Amino acid sequence: MSGLGVVSPSVSARPARRLMHGSEAIAEAMIAAGCRFFAGYPMTPFTEVLEEMARKLPDVGGVCMNAESELEAVGMAWGAAATGTPAATGSTGQGLSLMQESLAEITLARLPLVVLNMARGQGDYWQATRGGGHGDYRHLVIAPVDVVEAVELVQSAFHLAATWRNPVVVMGDYYLAHTARAVSVAPIDPGPAPPNDWALTGKSGGTGRAKLVSFLGSVKQRDDVGYDLAVHYRACAEHTAAMLRDVPPQVEEGLLDDADVVVVAFGTPGAYVRAAVRSLREEGYKVGWLRPVTLVPFPSDAVAAAGRRAKAVAVYENNAGQMVDDVRLAVLGAAPVEFIGGLSLDPSGFGIAPDLDVGLLRRRILDVVERHG
């Protein structure tokens, strides 16, 4: 018998486009990428992803667990991932707060895992990029702008997780989960991933070389002294440094060549910033936009280059100012960096209307242009 295993994407004609809300498209993308284990606990706006996985995963021989809490959801995903089964979990930022202890140690146990954050607004940037847990670790973080991009990036998240044996966080929000788009979820062939000969199957027991998957060490010392945490933590830190060095940052840029003011935004607001900048360009204002697609690694070089050419950099986020720190670190004083975002005004707390308003964004960008342009 074998486990659920990695299923190679089948070579088939690209499926027809179908109108799907983001949760369903993300679920289909996860399954297309080989995900065969999912565990979650309901919470808006993550709930529908769990619903879709519960409906779809059994049809492909996978398992979807109704975990009794976020603590158990991440625990179950941890156990499945340790057997080499492509696994994912997720929640909103609040639920992910509960998971942070495990997410920190899963990283130090060097396990691949995809973690969805269907966030409320954008207040979880620090949680995702700095890690809300303890110790020295980093997650890769990807922030799709819309459903179409999410279908590709979610699949690449599984490949990155398998390649680097490290959790990858996909940052979404209420809009991404609930916006319906006509999309085609075609499996992407990402090329080979390293063999998962580290995965537990039970079979190495009794051989004298029984495997270990642990955040305390990568191999059994087989002595009576025990784990050397200093050796393990240093090895993990070296691995993390290599990952952050070698994973290429992704960024979308537009109209930057002669821009006096560059507006930076990630995720859904990136689309609204793009629209506001384009309409200001039509009126002759020299503005451009830059959207980090990967939040970790942060596209610091691209932001720095834009900062050197511009008179000012503006950052829009639906929070009290988080990514603006990374923008300032990248620009390093080459231009003033202004925060033009703000906390969501949505009384439901879900981070939806009335915040994302192209007219409002235009006014805030124009204010920066008038002072620096």
Using CB under 8 A as the criterion, which residues of the chain lie in contact with another protein when the complex forms?
1-4, 36-37, 39, 63, 65, 67-69, 71-83, 85, 87, 101-102, 105, 109, 200-208, 210-217, 220-227
Tell me how far, at minimum, the Cβ of 57 lies from another protein, in Å: 11
Q: Which is nearer to another protein, 62 or 341 (CB)?
A: 62
Q: Which is nearer to another protein, 221 or 348 (CB)?
A: 221
Tell me how far, at minimum, the Cβ of 95 lies from another protein, in Å: 15
Q: Which is nearer to another protein, 116 or 142 (CB)?
A: 116
Q: Which is nearer to another protein, 15 or 58 (CB)?
A: 58
Tell me how far, at minimum, the Cβ of 77 lies from another protein, in Å: 6
In terms of Cα–Cα distance, which of 147, 187, 127 is closest to 19? 147
Distances (CA, A) of 8 to 11, 190, 370: 9, 10, 54
Distance between first and last Cα of the chain: 67
Determine the 3-state secondary structure of 112 from DSSP.
Answer: coil
Q: Which two three-digit tokens encode residue 368?
A: 């920066």
Q: Which is nearer to another protein, 180 or 210 (CB)?
A: 210
In terms of Cα–Cα distance, which of 137, 139, 138 is closest to 117? 139
Tell me how far, at minimum, the Cβ of 142 lies from another protein, in Å: 23
Tell me how far, at minimum, the Cβ of 186 lies from another protein, in Å: 26
Distances (CA, A) of 317 to 18, 167, 266, 273, 321: 31, 24, 7, 10, 7
Contact 93, 117 (CB under 8 A): yes
Contact 116, 316 (CB under 8 A): no
Tell me how far, at minimum, the Cβ of 222 lies from another protein, in Å: 5
Q: Which is nearer to another protein, 82 or 183 (CB)?
A: 82
Q: How far apart are CA 233 and CA 263, in angstroms?
A: 38
